[in-house]
Amino acid sequence: MKVFVIGIGLIGGSMVLDIKTLHPEATIYGIDNNESHLAEALALGVVDKAATFDDLVDADFVIVSVPVDVALIVLPKVLDVVGDTTIVFEVGSTKIPICEAVANHPKRRHFIATHPIAGTEFSGPSAAIKGLFQGKTNIICEVEKTTFKLQEKALDLFKEMGMRIRYMDPKSHDKHIAYVSHLSHISAFMLGKTVINKEKDEQDIFDMAGSGFESTVRLAKSSPAMWTPIFKQNRKQVVKTLDEYISNLSKFKELLEKEDYEAIYNEMQSVNKIKEILNGINIKK
Ligand code: NAP
């Protein structure tokens, strides 16, 4: 089995580590425009061999795992060269622009649009982890546009990795993900900014920061190179979610200014139900 990963970072790297465990006979080929990432991936055994686009013709699987703006350029080029039995999937955090970029490609039926809801704040091949996708959800868009046989080939692999499959149209995906992922990242970045701006002596932050601060601000360590194009591509939805979030923050501030502690208590109590919601999700997993 020939598996190609284009963009050998956290997500692509973690996928091929799982594939290698599940299918020891597979050869993993890596393509990355970052020479040091490619060398690191070879040294770590994340990939077996370096490859080029010319090698894609007899690939079984091609995983495109690059920043979402790069995916718009890379994906049509990959489809241009792949053979009859190749399934290509990409894993980007936005789906409308990517589905539009390949909508009229003659080999659209060789492509499956996915978004595995798994990750960490780290990037590059050294961030790749075995078992990252176990028990996680993989959102698949426009599945009907992929040839049935190739759909099955991809779905079998996702299930082997332990992923639950959810089907969604690209518009719903981009709308919902703006709330549960994109807004969380902005919120962490701006919380980090607020604290850094005020606490010029960084040692004070580390001395006083409890685990609450650390876990809330964790996502602020994420890569700007990956997140800027995500915000660009999902700008309209992200702006909407920010309006709602800013309005909630302003209301909370008003209640505090008015010293309305009963309303503050009730506000927090009503949000406490997030515990049951998240527990429910973890039980389903
Ligand atoms: P990553 O760790 O930064 O890996 C991406 C790799 O692609 C890097 O080595 C990068 O090199 C390389 N690259 C950039 N442009 C390229 C090009 N033109 N050709 C070949 N390689 C190129 O990123 P990641 O976290 O794995 O994210 C990859 C994709 O997964 C993104 O689309 C993201 O939206 C999606 N995703 C991420 C998460 C998450 O939690 N991180 C979760 C789900 C989905 P440079 O570093 O030099 O740019």
Domain hosting 65: range is 2-169
Q: Are residues 214 and 150 in the same domain?
A: no
Please tell me the distance from the alpha carbon of residue 185 to that of residue 178, in angstroms, as a whole number: 10
Whether the CA torsion 50, 55, 59, 65 is positive or negative: it is positive
| Average pLDDT rounded to a whole number, residues 95-109 | 97
**pLDDT, position 242:** 98
Same domain for 177 and 162, yes or no, is: no
CATH number at residue 125: 3.40.50.720
Residue where a domain terminates, one of 147, 169, 191:
169
Domain boundary among 169, 191, 220: 169
Q: Does 130 lie in the same domain as 10?
A: yes
Ramachandran region, residue 41 (left: φ > 0; alpha: ψ -120 to 50; beta: rest): alpha
Distance between CA atoms of 19 and 11, rounded to whole angstroms?
12
Please give the mean pLDDT across all residues of the chain.
94
Report whether residue 64 contacts ligand 1, using a CB cutoff of 6 Å.
no
**Predicted TM-score of the model (pTM):** 0.93
**CA 243 to CA 250: how far, in whole Å?**
10
* Same domain membership, residue 62 and residue 103: yes
pLDDT at res. 279: 79
Half-sphere exposure of 198 (CA within 13 A, CB side): 7
Let me know whether 52 and 79 are in one domain.
yes
Ligand 1 atom nearest to CA at 37:
9
What is the maximum span of the chain, computed from C-alpha positions, in angstroms? Answer: 68
Task: Looking at the structure, tell me whether residues 73 and 184 fall in a common domain.
Answer: no
Buried b (16+ CB within 10 A) or exposed e, 161-200: bbbeeeebebeebbbebbeebbbebbbbbeebeebeeeee
Q: Which pLDDT score, from 0 to 100, does residue 211 have?
A: 76
CB-based burial label for 44 (10 Å; 0-12, 13-18, 19+) = middle
What is the average pLDDT across 132-151?
97
How many domains are contained in the chain?
2
Determine the Cα–Cα distance for residues 28 and 37; give it in Å rounded to an integer: 15
**Residue 283: its pLDDT value, please?**
60
- Per residue in 33-79, pLDDT tens? 999 999 999 999 999 999 999 999 999 999 999 999 999 999 999 99
Mean pLDDT to the nearest integer, 81-90 = 96
Q: Residue 132 pLDDT more than 70?
A: yes
**DSSP 3-state of 31:** strand
pLDDT in tens, 179-225: 999 999 999 999 999 988 877 766 766 677 777 888 899 999 999 99
- The answer on 272 and 223 residing in a single domain is yes
Q: Assign 284 a pLDDT band (cuts: 50, 70, 90).
A: low
**Shared domain check, 118 and 216:** no
User: 119: CA distance to ligand 1 center in Å?
Assistant: 11
Task: Compute the average pLDDT of residues 239-262.
Answer: 98
Which tokens is 265 given? 């208590």
Assess whether 164 and 44 both reside in one domain.
yes
Residue 174 has pLDDT above 70, yes or no: yes
97 CB under 6 A from ligand 1?
A: no
Identify whether residues 191 and 134 lie together within a single domain: no
**Residue finishing a domain among 130, 146, 169:** 169
Question: How far is CA 21 from each of CA 10, 130, 131, 164, 200, rounded to the nearest angstrom?
Answer: 17, 8, 10, 19, 47
Confidence at residue 281, expressed as pLDDT on a 0 to 100 scale: 67
Centre of ligand 1 to C-alpha 67, Å, is 5
3-state secondary structure of 94: coil
Shared domain check, 119 and 183:
no
| Cβ neighbourhood burial of 102 (10 Å; 0-12, 13-18, 19+) | buried
Percentage of the chain surpassing pLDDT 70? Answer: 95
209 Cα: distance to centroid of ligand 1 (angstroms): 30
* Same domain assignment for residues 268 and 242: yes
CATH of the domain at 226: 1.10.3660.10
